[in-house]
């Protein structure tokens, strides 16, 4: 039996969604121009996009690129971040490079990368990889830095080698922080995916969105916005569930990571 209060907190995000859609509906009715359809009209356009085979293939191609870029970035970034956190030399070696590259929009590298690799999948996956790796490296770095020295000393005293200490002490201890980085990275992957596709207009969800904008199909524009937004919220909520299962032992930190971009 769920108490009324728990039910309310659980359904609060849903209510917020409905509220936002309601505000949209009212605002559209007041403004009443062609370029701003009501929420209902936009929602009504969703089935025609999701029912169309071509757009479905496009959206799945986008998701596949995103998954590959994200996966590779996580595999590369976590060890690098952990090493930076445990060794001062490694940290001071990579830190300035990361600081220089941080304010550069990764999707803006798209035109240059397209010159080298063409407009295909590899260029887009590379851009997603670059976008995801920075926050994951940063959070793994922070997590590994905060590991208690005493645990490492006891590990060393019990005869664990440096590599074993890394895998069996540093990695689990830094896991909550690493997963926060991954969660930020996940949303960043989605953003980079959309932007890379609207710069290299060839296929994908971003392409559908901006083509509809160019052709003045306003209800499709807004329907795509809802679809992409729902993907973001859904992926984030799914990841959050997984995270809270994996690191149940860690005290609940902030429930929304700070660094969404």
Contact 26, 12 (CB under 8 A): no
From the list 36, 41, 43, 79, which residue makes contact with another protein (rule: CB under 8 A)?
36
Q: Is 195 in the site for another protein (CB under 8 A)?
A: yes
Query: What is the nearest approach in angstroms of another protein to the Cβ of residue 66?
Result: 11
3-class state of residue 201 by DSSP: strand
Two tokens, residue 28: 């559209």
Q: Is 92 in the site for another protein (CB under 8 A)?
A: yes
Q: Is 213 in the site for another protein (CB under 8 A)?
A: yes
Q: Is 118 in the site for another protein (CB under 8 A)?
A: no
CA distance linking residue 250 with residue 173, whole number of Å: 9
Q: How far apart are the first and last CA of the chain?
A: 39
Contact 81, 137 (CB under 8 A): yes
Binding part of the chain for another protein, among 89-97, 140-148, 156-164, 168-176 by CB under 8 A, reads 89-97
Contacts to another protein by CB under 8 A: 12-13, 15-17, 19-20, 35-36, 88-89, 92-97, 99-109, 111-112, 114-116, 187, 190-191, 194-195, 198-199, 209-210, 212-213, 218, 221-222, 224-225, 228-229, 231-233, 235-237, 254-256, 258-261
């Amino acid at each position: 039996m769920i108490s009324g209060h728990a039910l309310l907190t659980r359904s609060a995000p849903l209510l917020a969604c409905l509220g936002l859609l309601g505000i949209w509906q009212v605002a559209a009715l007041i403004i009443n121009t062609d370029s701003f359809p009501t929420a209902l009209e936009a929602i009504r356009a969703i089935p025609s996009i999701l029912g169309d085979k071509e757009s479905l293939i496009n959206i799945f191609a986008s998701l596949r690129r995103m998954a590959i870029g994200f996966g590779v970035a996580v595999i590369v970034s976590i060890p690098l971040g952990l090493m930076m956190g445990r060794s001062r030399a490694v940290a001071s070696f990579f830190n300035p490079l990361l600081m220089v590259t941080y304010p550069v929009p990764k999707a803006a590298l798209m035109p240059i990368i397209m010159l080298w690799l063409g407009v295909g999948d590899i260029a887009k996956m590379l851009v997603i990889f670059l976008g995801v790796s920075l926050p994951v490296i940063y959070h793994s770095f922070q997590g590994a830095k905060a590991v208690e020295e005493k645990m490492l000393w006891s590990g060393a005293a019990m005869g664990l080698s440096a590599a074993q200490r890394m895998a069996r002490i540093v990695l689990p201890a830094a896991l909550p922080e690493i997963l926060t980085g991954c969660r930020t990275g996940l949303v960043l992957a989605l953003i980079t995916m959309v932007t890379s596709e609207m710069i290299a207009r060839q296929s994908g969800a971003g392409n559908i969105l901006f083509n509809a904008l160019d052709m003045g199909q306003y209800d499709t524009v807004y329907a795509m916005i809802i679809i992409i937004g729902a993907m973001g919220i859904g992926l984030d909520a799914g990841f959050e569930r997984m995270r809270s299962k994996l690191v149940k032992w860690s005290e609940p930190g902030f429930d929304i990571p700070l660094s969404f971009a």
